[in-house]
Amino acid sequence: KWGRVADFRYDCCFVCVDASLPVIDRYVEERVDCMIEAGLLNEVIDIYNPSADYSRGLRQAIGVREFEEFLTFSLSKGESLYPHLVKEAADISAQQGGPFLTHGEDKSLSHTAREIFESGDETQKILLVKAIDKLKANTRKLVRRQ
């Protein structure tokens, strides 16, 4: 009987928000762009661990799984997004018996999406756009499920 109108202890007013999917999609895309501008890429870089499984559990944080290909590419070039990543990648490489980093020197990668877009590395730009598009698609799916 729970949930029937006659079973409520108090008078209720239910509000349902209805919006068209294109409007919601546009809002989600704008929101993801704002998140990128506000430093989502830096947050993802900060918590990224090359040996972690981002397909289940708490590691499915927004952005980490979507940016994995971009981050792996950046590490494979020997660039450090943050020093902890270079050490972790080198440790994993040693455990797996292969060269993960191609350069020994510690280069500094641009820390914001804007700097990456303004750089000359086309592959990195393409991977970043692909990651942002994946993030938008996954966020749209999440919003629709809610």
Residue 123 is part of a domain; what is its CATH number?
Answer: 1.10.287.890
* 10 assigned to some structural domain: no
pLDDT at 100: 38
* 12 assigned to some structural domain: no
Question: To the nearest 5 percent, what fractions of the chain are helix, strand and coil?
Answer: 60, 5, 40
CA atoms within 13 A on the CB side of 145: 6
* 5 assigned to some structural domain: no
Question: Which of 136, 143, 141 has its CA nearest to residue 34?
Answer: 136
* 35 assigned to some structural domain: yes
* 106 assigned to some structural domain: yes
* 4 assigned to some structural domain: no
pLDDT digit string (tens) for the chain, length 146 residues: 555 666 777 888 878 878 899 999 999 999 999 999 888 888 888 777 778 777 777 667 767 889 989 988 888 876 555 455 545 555 554 555 544 333 333 333 335 787 888 888 889 889 999 999 999 999 999 888 87
pLDDT at 3: 57
pTM confidence score:
0.66
* 141 assigned to some structural domain: yes
Q: Which domain holds residue 112?
A: 20-145
pLDDT at 121: 83
Domain count, the chain: 1
* 69 assigned to some structural domain: yes
